[in-house]
Amino acid sequence: MHRTLSRRSLLKNLALATLALPLPLSTLAQPKVTKNPFALGVASGSATHDSLVLWTRLHDEGLFGSNLPNAVIPVIWELAADEGFTQMVQSGVANAVPALAHSLHVELSGLPSDQWFHYRFRINEFTSPTGRTRTFATPGKSSAALRIAFASCQNFELGYFNSYPHLVREKPDLVLFLGDYIYEYPPGQKGVRNHSGSWCLSLEDYRARYAQYRQDVQLQQLHACCPWLVTWDDHEVQNDYAGLQAGSGGPYSDFAKRRAGAYQAFYEHMPLRASVLVEGLAGLEKGAEMRIYNSVSIGGLLSISLLDTRQYRAPQACTPGNKTGSGVIDPKQCELLSSEGRSLLGTQQEQWLDTQLGKAKEQVWTLLAQSTLFGARVYRTGDGVRVWNDGWDGYPAARRRLTDLLVKHQVPNPVILGGDVHENWVGYVKEDYSSLNSRSIGVEFCGTSVSSYDGRNPDSALRNNSHFVYAEGSRKGYGIMEVSSSELIVHLRAVKDHRTPESVIENLASFKVVAGTQRLERLAVS
C-alpha cells in the first residue's frame, strides 16, 4: 500500500520547493542518506518562455526500491547561468516525499526567456549530475532556429539506447518523446539485456521498471542535455489499452487500478507539472484523468501541441475473435469503424485542439506531436484492403475531424509527428484520406523506434498509399528537425546496430519543407 497525498498537501509540498535559500545546509534536519541518492540522474521539461520543471528521484540502490528512509527528505536545488554555479539564477529547497517515491518536480517560474541554464540537486555530501536546460523565446517575439528531436519506443530488452549519445552530440534544444518510454513486459524477450521483475501490474512494479530504465546512462545523458516534452502511448500501461479498457497480454488485473498506478509512476518519473494530476493522486485512483496534453508556443516560430491518443480513446473496432486490443481488419466488414461518435482524442481534447489551432497563425509552424502514424496506410489483399485498427486508421471519423480543423483554421504549416509503428514514414497530410485526389494540407514525419521490435517491410504499403513519399522499417534511431522561420529540415538518423552497447550512426534520409509550400523535398545530404 502506498500513502495517498491530497491535492492540497501535494501543492503545499510543491510550494515548499520555492523556499528561498539562504539556510545553511547544516540547519536543515536531514534524514539519514548515506549513499549517493542520485542514481537515476536528472531531467527537465515542460519548458515555456519563462518556466520549466526540474526533476530527479532519490533512489539509493537496487531496482526494487531503496534504503531511503520513509520520510520527507529536503533537497537543495540550484539553477545557474554557468556550469560552475557561480552565477546563481534561482535556488531553493524542495521536499522529496515517500508518497511520490521521493521524486522531485521543482516548478520554476519568472525565468528569463530564451536562455540556457545549468541545474543540479544536493543532499549532504552528495551532488547530482549537472543538467542543462533552457527557456524558449517569448510568444510573438523572434526566435533563432531550433533543433528539435523526436523519439519513441525504448524497449530496454531488445536493444541499447545507443543512438542517444549521437543525439546528445547534435545539441538538441528540445526532445519530444512520443510514447512507449517503458515496456510493461516481463523479462524474456530474448534481447540484449533483461527487464527486472515480472509484468508491470502495480504502482511498485511500474516504479521499479522506470528505475531500471533510468539507470541507463545513455538515457540519463539525453535527459540531462536539454528539456523534454513527453506524451505516452500504450506500453506505459499495457499493450493496446484504450481509455479504461484493458489491452492484451499478461495476467488479469483490475485495469482501473493498474492504470492509476502506471499513470502515477509516469508522473513520478517525468518532468511534468503537478497540474497534470487534475484531482491529485487520490483522483487517479478513482479513475480521474491525468491531463498530459498541452501546448507551448515558441516565439513567432512554432507552436507544439502535445496530444494524448490513449487515455480518452474509444475501444478499437472489430478486433478479430471479439478480443480486446488491436488487430488487422477489413473496413468493409466493420460498420463500427467509421462511426462518427468514435474518438481517438476524446471530445474535450478535440475541443481544446480546436482552440489551439485557432491561434495557429501566430506562429510559422504548427507541430502536432502525438504517438502514432497519422496518414492512412491500407494494405491491399486479393479481396480488398485491410487496416490496423489501433492507429488513426482505426478512427477515420476522428482523423477527418482533425484534418477539418486544419482546414477550418487555415493552419499555415502543419507538421504531424508520430511514433509507435517502429518504422519511419514521411508523407503528406491529406484533407480527406478516403479520396485519392484530396489535396495536401500538411506534412507528416512518423519516427522509427529507439530499440523496439522491427516494423514490417513497408515497401508494398508505400506503393499503395501514394501520400507517403518514404518508408523504412528495420532501422532504429530518432529524428531531428532544424526549424527556422523560412524552412524545416528533418534528418532521420539510425544506428548501424542497436544490439551493441555502442554503434555508429547513419543518416537514412533528409527532407526539407520551405515555409508556405507544404512540399516535401528530399535532400541528398548526410
Name the minimum Å distance from CB 452 to Fe ion: 5
Name the minimum Å distance from CB 391 to Fe ion: 12
Residue 474 CB coordination number (10 Å) = 14
The span of 38-46, 179-187, 308-316, 328-336 binding Fe ion (CB under 5 A) equals 179-187
DSSP characters over 59-72: B-SSSS--S--SS-
The HSE-up count of residue 283 (CA atoms within 13 Å, CB side) is 15
Burial of 269 (0-12, 13-18, 19+ CB in 10 A): buried
The span of 146-154, 241-249, 435-443, 508-516 binding Fe ion (CB under 5 A) equals 146-154
Considering the complex, state which of residue 179 and residue 271 has its C-beta at the smaller distance from Fe ion.
Answer: 179
Query: Among 348, 347, 367, which Cα is nearest to 357's?
Result: 367
Q: Is the CA virtual torsion 396, 398, 399, 401 positive or negative?
A: positive
Considering the complex, state which of residue 309 and residue 366 has its C-beta at the smaller distance from Fe ion.
Answer: 309
- The C-alpha atoms of residue 119 and residue 54 are separated, in whole angstroms, by 8
Considering the complex, state which of residue 128 and residue 452 has its C-beta at the smaller distance from Fe ion.
Answer: 452
The span of 108-116, 148-156, 287-295, 377-385 binding Fe ion (CB under 5 A) equals 148-156
Name the minimum Å distance from CB 318 to Fe ion: 22
Q: Give 217's contacts (C-beta < 8 A, 6+ positions apart).
A: none
Considering the complex, state which of residue 265 and residue 353 has its C-beta at the smaller distance from Fe ion.
Answer: 265
Name the minimum Å distance from CB 170 to Fe ion: 23
Q: Is the CA virtual torsion 369, 134, 17, 121 positive or negative?
A: positive
Name the minimum Å distance from CB 243 to Fe ion: 19
The span of 141-149, 153-161, 170-178, 346-354 binding Fe ion (CB under 5 A) equals 153-161
Considering the complex, state which of residue 95 and residue 152 has its C-beta at the smaller distance from Fe ion.
Answer: 152
Name the minimum Å distance from CB 180 to Fe ion: 4
Is residue 414 within 8 Å of residue 441, measured between CB atoms?
yes
Name the minimum Å distance from CB 107 to Fe ion: 30
Name the minimum Å distance from CB 419 to Fe ion: 7
Considering the complex, state which of residue 305 and residue 372 has its C-beta at the smaller distance from Fe ion.
Answer: 372
- The C-alpha atoms of residue 73 and residue 39 are separated, in whole angstroms, by 16
- The C-alpha atoms of residue 276 and residue 481 are separated, in whole angstroms, by 27
Amino acid at 261: G
Burial of 410-437, coded b for 16+ CB within 10 Å and e otherwise, reads ebbbbbbbbbbbbbbbbbbbbebbeeee
State the number of binding residues for Fe ion (CB under 5 A).
3
Based on the shown chain and the rule CB under 5 A, indicate whether residue 180 belongs to the binding site for Fe ion: yes
- The residue from 40, 104, 148, 153 that contacts Fe ion (CB under 5 A) is 153
Name the minimum Å distance from CB 159 to Fe ion: 12
Instruction: Determine the straight-line distance between the first and last CA of the chain, rounded to whole angstroms.
Output: 53
Number of DSSP helices (H) and strands (E) in the chain, helices first: 9, 26
Considering the complex, state which of residue 31 and residue 187 has its C-beta at the smaller distance from Fe ion.
Answer: 187
Considering the complex, state which of residue 153 and residue 302 has its C-beta at the smaller distance from Fe ion.
Answer: 153
Residues 184-243 that bind Fe ion (CB under 5 A): none
Name the minimum Å distance from CB 449 to Fe ion: 6
Is residue 365 within 8 Å of residue 483, measured between CB atoms?
yes
Considering the complex, state which of residue 398 and residue 446 has its C-beta at the smaller distance from Fe ion.
Answer: 446
The span of 97-105, 176-184, 318-326, 484-492 binding Fe ion (CB under 5 A) equals 176-184
- Residue 374: C-alpha distances to residues 85, 326, 337 (Å): 44, 16, 16
Residues 401-460 that bind Fe ion (CB under 5 A): 452
Considering the complex, state which of residue 53 and residue 151 has its C-beta at the smaller distance from Fe ion.
Answer: 151
Residues 96-115 that bind Fe ion (CB under 5 A): none
Site residues, Fe ion (CB under 5 A): 153, 180, 452
